[in-house]
Amino acid sequence: MTNVLLIIFTISLLYLGIAHRLLTYIKILVFQGLLLFGIAFIELIKIDALNLAFVLLETIVFKAFFIPLFLNYVMKKNRITRDAEPFLPNFVSLILITIIIIATFILSNAIADSRISKIYFVVAISTLFTGLYIIVTRHKIITHVMGYLVIENGVFILSIAVGNEMPMLVNLGILLDIFASVFLLGIFVNKIGDVLKDVDVEQLKNLKD
Amino acid sequence: MTGLYLAGAFSIGALLFFNRKRLINYLLVIAFLILQIGFTIYEYHHINTIELHYFSADALGILLLVTLSIISIPAMYHSYVFMSKSDDNPRHRGIYFAAMVVLLTAISGAYLANHIAVTWIFIELTTLSSSALIYHRRNNRSLEGTWKYVFVCAISITLVFIGILFLSFTLQQAGTDDLSFAVLIKKAPELNLFWLRLAFIFIFTGLTAKLGLVPMYTAGIDAKDKAPSPAGALLSSVLMNMGFVGIFRFYTVIANSPIHNWANHVILIAALLSIFVATVYMTKVKNIKRMFAYSSIEHMGIVMLGLVAGGIGYYAAILHIILHAFVKSSLFFQMGQIYRIYKSKSIYDAGNYFKYNLTGSIVVLLGFFSATAMPPSGLFISEFLIFRSLFEANYLSVLIIVMLLLTIIIWAFGKNIFKLLFSPAVDFKEDDIEKINPVESISQFILLGLVVYLGLNPPAEFVTLIQEAIKNLPL
C-alpha cells in the first residue's frame, strides 16, 4: 500500500512540472500532504501513540491545510498573478523531471542495503531535486517557497524510512518543516509584499558585484 | 552549567525583545556578557565533562568559545556606539540586541554540542537570529539580503538534515542509533561507504553556507554587507567558525573511515574554487564591506586546504580559523567608523582616511597587513604552515595555483585599501564630518595585537588545546 502511495506521489511531481497556475501548485501541495499522511499512518503505526499523533497532525493539519491556506492568503493579499511564469516550456520541464527520476533509479542500484527499501530513497531524492528544479526555473518568489515546501516533503519521506528505529529524527524533520515554512512564509512574504509592490525575483537583483 | 547558561541567555534574549527601556536594555546586555564570560571560564575548567547528555566542552569547543567571548565584548560595545549614532527606535533596538544575544548563545551551543542533531538545531537557530540582525535597517536592500540569506540557509539546513538521515541509515546497519560524534568516530571504519559518501556530500554542502565556501557562500556575502557592522563582524568571524566546527567534527569521523582520501578530494575542489571565486570578486568589487567578506571566503578556502593536506596542516587550520576571527572582526568594527565618515561603503566615495581619522586608519592599515598574512601577523605563521603541509603532502600544483591567486588577492586588497587611506576622494565635502573618538579603536588594536601574540608566541596551554583538538585525526 505504501508503495502505491509513493508512486502516486512521484506522479504528482510530474504534474507539478507541467502545472500552469499557482492555484494548481497549491492543490498539488494539499494532495501531497494527504499522501504523506497515508504513508506516515501505515508505516509508523508501531511507534508510541503520542509521537504518532504528532506526526499525523503535522501532515494533515500543517501540510495539507494550514500551509495551503496561508499560501492562498498571501497570494490574495499581495495580488500575485495566477501564472507560474516558468523560464522553460512545460514540455522541457516534464522531460527534465523524468530524467531526474530515472537518474535516481540508476543511483539507487548502488545501494547494497536490504534494510532500507529503495523506493523511499528514489522518491525522496527525486522529490528533492524536483523541488530544487522548480526553485531554479520559476520566476516568482512565491514559487520559490513552494519549491522549498516540495523539498520538505521529500525530506519527510526520507525520515519516515528510519522512522520506526529513530522517531527522534522524524520529529526533528517536522521541527525543521514548521520552523522554516512559518519563517519563510509568515515573516517574509508579508514583509516583501509590504515593501515591494510587485513580488518578482527581478526586484531582488540589486545586491551584486 | 550548560543548562543554566542556555536558560539564562535565552531568557535575557526574551527580556530584551520585550523591553523598550534603553537603560534596562544595556543592563541586560551587560548581564549577558557576564554570563557568557563566566560560562566560558567554567567550561575551561571542566574540559571534556558531559553535561545534559548532549554537551561536552572538548578542546576545539573551548578554543572557539574563548574566541567568541573575546569578540562578543567589543561587538556589544560597537553595537552600543552604533545605536547611539543612528536614529533610535526602541523596538528595533530591543530586537537587535535580542537577536545578538540569541545568536551568540546559539553559536556557543553549536560549539559545545557533541551530537550531530543537536549541532544542527543550534545552526538552525543562528539562521533565525542572524536574519533579524541583517534586516535591522528595514529597507529594500536589507530585505533582499535577508531574504536571500534565509532562503539559502533554509535549503542548506535541509541538505544537512538529509545528510544526517543518510548517516542514520548506515548507523542502523552498524547496530547503533546514537548519533553522537564519539560513537560515530568509533563506528566509522564499519559504516556503509555508499551512505557515508552521500552523507558527507550533503552535510558538507549544507554547512558551506555557514562556513562560506563554494557552492553556498553567496548568501553570506549579502548578509555581511547588509547587517550593521558589529553584526557583520560576528557573521564573518564566530558564525563562520561554527560552520567550521560542524565540518571539522564530521570530517574527523570521515578521516577514520576508508573514504578519507575521497573526502579530501571533495574538500580540495571546494577550497580551490572558493579561493578562485574570492580572487575574481576581490579584483572587481567596489564595496569595502563586501571586499572584507570575500577575503573571508579566501581564508576559509585556505583553512580547508590545511585540513586536506594533513600533518601540520591540521594544527595550522585551527590556528588560522581562530586568528582569522580576530582579524576580520576588527576590520568589520572599523568599517562602522568608515561608514560614519563617508556615509557610503563604495570605494569611489572614500579616500584620504588618514586625514579624517588617524587612529582608525592605523587600524585599517594594520588590519590589511594582518588579513593578507604579512609577517608580523599571526596569520603569516598559520598560512606558512598550511603551505608547508601542502608541499609535504605532494600537492605542489595546488600550492602554485593558490599562491598565484593569493598574490592577485593581495594586489586587489591593497589597491582598494590604499585608495581608501591615501588618495583624496572626489567630491567629498569636508565641512560636517563626524569626529571619531580614538577610544572606539582600542578594541581593534587589542584584537590585532592578540593575533600577533598568538601567532608568534603561542602560550603552551593554547598549543596543547589545539593538539588535543586534532588528536582524533590520523597523521
DSSP letter for A63, please: I
Mean pLDDT, to the nearest integer, of B382-391?
A: 95
Which H/E stretch holds residue B262? helix B260-284
Beta bridge partners of B51: B55
Q: Which residue does chain A place closest to B118, by CA atoms? A: A172
0.90 exceeded by pTM: yes
Q: What are phi and psi of B58, to 5 degrees?
A: -90, 180
**Among the partner residues A132, A152, A183, nearest to B150 by beta-carbon distance:** A183
How many other β-carbons are positioned within 10 Å of the β-carbon of residue A205?
Answer: 9
Instruction: Determine which of A165, A203, A204, A206 to mutate to test the interface with B (most B C-beta atoms within 10 Å).
Output: A204
- Asked whether the beta carbons of residue A155 and residue B162 sit closer than 8 angstroms, the reply is yes
- The CA distance from B26 to B321, in Å, is 31
Q: What is the pLDDT of residue A47?
A: 82
Cβ atoms within 10 Å of A31's Cβ, excluding its own: 16
Residue of A nearest to B284 (CA): A209
Residues in chain B with CB shorter than 8 Å from the CB of A47 are none
Q: Which of A109, A169, A174, A185 to mutate to test the interface with B (most CBs of B within 10 A)?
A: A169
C-alpha A146/C-alpha A67 separation (Å) is 10
Residue B160: name the closest of A108, A169, A116 by CA.
Answer: A169
DSSP state of B425: P
- In chain A, what residues touch B165 (CB-CB under 8 Å)? 155, 158-159, 161-162, 169, 173
Strand partners, B90: none
CB contact under 8 A, A161 and B169: yes
Contact predicate B178/B242, CB 8 Å = no
Question: The C-alpha cell of A12 is what?
Answer: 504528482
User: For residues B40 and B112, what is the distance between their CA atoms, to the nearest angstrom?
Assistant: 11
From the centroid of its chain, how far is CA B248?
14
Cell reading at B206: 549544507
The runs of H, that is alpha helices, within B113-139 are 116-134
A113 touches chain B (CB under 8 A): yes
State the cell numbers at B212. 562560506
A207 and B192 within 8 Å at the Cβ level: the answer is no
**Mean predicted confidence (pLDDT) in B420-435:** 84
Q: Which of B128, B151, B177 sits opposite A165 (nearest CB)?
A: B177
Are the Cβ atoms of A151 and B168 closer than 8 angstroms? Answer: no
The residues pairing with B55 across neighbouring beta strands, listed in sequence order, are B51, B113
Nearest of B238, B154, B204 to residue A148 by alpha carbon:
B154
- Grid cell listed for B261: 582520501
Three cell numbers, residue B367: 588590519
Q: Is the pLDDT of residue A198 over 60?
A: no
Task: Please name the residue that has the C-alpha cell 544595556.
Answer: B26
Q: Is A12 within 8 Å of A19 (Cβ atoms)?
A: no
| Confidence (pLDDT) at A196 | 63
Q: Identify the band that residue A109 occupies on the pLDDT scale cut at 50, 70 and 90.
A: confident
Q: Which of B121, B154, B290 sits opposite A184 (nearest CB)?
A: B154
Mean pLDDT of B442-470: 94
**Closest residue on chain A to B224 (Cα):** A207
Choose from A162, A203, A207 for mutation: most chain B CBs within 10 A. A207
Give me the residues of A, 14-73, that contact B with CB < 8 A.
none
Sign of the C-alpha dihedral computed for residues B179, B180, B185 and B187 taken in this order = negative
Asked if the Cβ–Cβ distance from B161 to A111 is below 8 Å, we say no
| pLDDT tens digits along B189-236 | 988 888 899 999 999 999 999 999 988 999 899 999 999 999 999 999
pLDDT given at position A193: 65
- Residue of chain B minimizing CA distance to A147: B155
d(C-alpha A179, C-alpha A182), whole Å: 6
A residues 155-194 closer than 8 Å to B (CB): 155, 158-159, 161-162, 165-166, 168-169, 172-173, 175-176, 179-180, 183-184, 188, 191-192
B276 has pLDDT over 70: yes
User: What contacts A90, CB < 8 A, 6 or more positions away?
Assistant: A17, A18, A20
Beta-bridge mates of residue B50: B56
d(CA A71, CA A26): 7
Is any Cβ of chain A less than 8 angstroms from the Cβ of B148?
yes
Residue whose entry in the numeric block shows the C-alpha cell 508579508: A190
**Percent with pLDDT over 70 in chain B:** 100
Secondary structure element (H or E) that encloses residue A31, with its range: helix A22-43
pLDDT for the residue numbered A2: 87
CA Rg value for chain B: 21
Q: Please name which of B466, B218, B458, B446 lies closest in space to residue B329, comparing C-alpha atoms.
A: B446
Chosen from A156, A172, A175, A198 to mutate, greatest number of chain B CBs within 10 A:
A172
For residue B452, the distance in angstroms to the closest alpha carbon of chain A comes to: 32
The pair phi, psi for residue A196, each rounded to 5°, is -105, 135
First to last CA, chain B: 35
Identify which of A159, A169, A180 has the shortest CB distance to residue B154: A180
Q: Chains A, B: CB contacts under 8 A, how many?
A: 104
- Answer yes or no: do B169 and A172 touch at CB < 8 A: no
pLDDT at A14: 94
- Predicted local confidence at residue B262, as pLDDT: 95
Per-residue pLDDT tens for B13-45? 999 999 888 899 999 999 999 999 999 999 999
CA distance A125 to A147: 14
pLDDT class for B402, splitting at 50, 70, 90? very high
User: Which of B148, B157, B192 is opposite residue A113, by nearest beta carbon?
Assistant: B192
